[in-house]
């Protein structure tokens, strides 16, 4: 575990992540170091299934703090992202207070009080009492530009203003990680506010380490040939290139089925674990599979 109160460096970050089961290289560790030191948000881009999201989840684990996740989607609005009033409760509250002697102003301030507020991820992230949480804003490229603009404001002051209540300022500035699959260009303004990291497919050595971390009982021979096949596949023109999560899916599939070596038959049977598009599966039938195995 990483203690922010004590002195730490990139190396201690690497080992803290390793403890919680995440293999990290020096580059990302350096950037995480900056994220923690400078309190700057980090934007991670990369192909799907490569460990962008799990960087954030493991950061929360390594810091032993809460992970607050905001999954972005098209049409995401502030009510889903920031806060909403609990309308049913408000209606009841109004009815209950109908006969009371309070003035309208008093009633209003009660109905728009903290009890009636439903916190959504962004508001939650700045009102955490104990210590700074990790705020994961996942797939920001799916959200609309308007939301991005709002986020920009939040990320610079870490405060949210609710018209009925006033401005709420962050008690602890959260550690923010944004991920993007590049399905839409993000604005330069947002990019400039963040540290940037392009997460690439892992090297064979790193991929081996990842597999061993997750499945220590795997046989070295199987792991080696599997990594070779996957790495080979990534150089081919596929619709959906297998990421690290596909590799792990495949390993778990092979382990569950009890296979100890890779051959054409095994590969064909388990192809659905790592190739997830019909066109790709078709293109990999027959000879192509033999070729893949030749390399391994």
Residues 6+ apart with CB under 8 A from 279: 239
Residues 6+ apart with CB under 8 A from 89: 115, 116
Question: Could you tell me which stretch among 24-32, 52-60, 221-229, 260-268 binds another protein (CB under 8 A)?
Answer: 24-32
Per-residue binding letters, 111-130, with another protein (x by CB under 8 A): x-------------------
183 binds another protein (CB under 8 A): yes
Q: Which of residues 73-92 bind another protein (CB under 8 A)?
A: 74-75, 77, 79, 84-85, 87, 90-91
Q: Give φ, ψ of 60 to 5 degrees.
A: -60, -40
245 binds another protein (CB under 8 A): no
Task: Name the helix (H) or strand (E) containing 198.
Answer: strand 195-199
Question: Could you tell me which stretch among 39-47, 119-127, 168-176, 285-293 binds another protein (CB under 8 A)?
Answer: 39-47
38 binds another protein (CB under 8 A): yes
Helix/strand/coil for 167: strand
288 binds another protein (CB under 8 A): no
Q: Say how many Å lie between the first and final Cα of the chain, rounded.
A: 38
Q: What tokens does 109 get? A: 């301030």
In the bound state with another protein, the residue whose beta carbon lies nearer, of 87 and 204, is: 87
Distance CA 15, CA 10 (A): 9
157 binds another protein (CB under 8 A): no
52 binds another protein (CB under 8 A): no
Report which of 86, 82, 78 is spatially closest to residue 117, judged by C-alpha positions.
86
Distance CA 29, CA 25 (A): 6
191 binds another protein (CB under 8 A): yes
Q: Point out which residues bind another protein (CB under 8 A).
A: 10, 26-27, 30-31, 33-34, 37-38, 40, 42, 45, 74-75, 77, 79, 84-85, 87, 90-91, 94-95, 97-98, 104, 107-108, 111, 144, 182-185, 188, 191-198, 237
């Amino acid at each position: 575990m990483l203690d922010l109160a004590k002195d730490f460096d990139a190396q201690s970050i690497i080992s803290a992540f390793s403890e919680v089961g995440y293999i990290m290289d020096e580059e990302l560790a350096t950037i995480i170091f900056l994220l923690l030191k400078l309190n700057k948000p980090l934007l991670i881009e990369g192909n799907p299934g490569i460990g962008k999201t799990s960087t954030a989840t493991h950061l929360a684990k390594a810091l032993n703090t809460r992970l607050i996740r905001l999954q972005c989607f098209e049409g995401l609005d502030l009510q889903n992202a920031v806060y909403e009033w609990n309308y049913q409760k408000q209606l009841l509250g109004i009815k209950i207070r109908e006969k009371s002697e309070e003035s309208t102003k008093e009633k209003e301030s009660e109905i728009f009080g903290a009890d009636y507020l439903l916190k959504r991820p962004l508001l939650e992230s700045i009102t955490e009492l104990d210590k700074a949480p990790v705020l994961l804003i996942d797939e920001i490229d799916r959200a609309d530009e308007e939301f991005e603009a709002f986020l920009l404001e939040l990320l610079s002051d870490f405060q949210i203003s609710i018209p009925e209540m006033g401005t709420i300022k962050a008690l602890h500035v959260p550690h923010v990680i944004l991920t993007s699959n590049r399905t839409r260009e993000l604005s330069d303004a947002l990019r400039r506010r963040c540290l940037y990291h392009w997460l690439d497919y892992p090297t064979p050595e790193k991929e081996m380490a990842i597999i061993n971390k997750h499945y220590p009982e795997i046989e070295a021979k199987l792991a080696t040939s599997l990594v070779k096949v996957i790495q080979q596949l990534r150089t081919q023109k596929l619709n959906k290139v297998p990421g690290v999560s596909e590799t792990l899916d495949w390993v778990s599939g092979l382990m569950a089925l009890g296979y100890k070596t890779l051959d054409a038959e095994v590969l064909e049977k388990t192809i659905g674990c790592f190739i997830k598009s019909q066109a790709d599966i078709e293109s990999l039938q027959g000879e192509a599979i033999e070729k893949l195995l030749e390399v391994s």
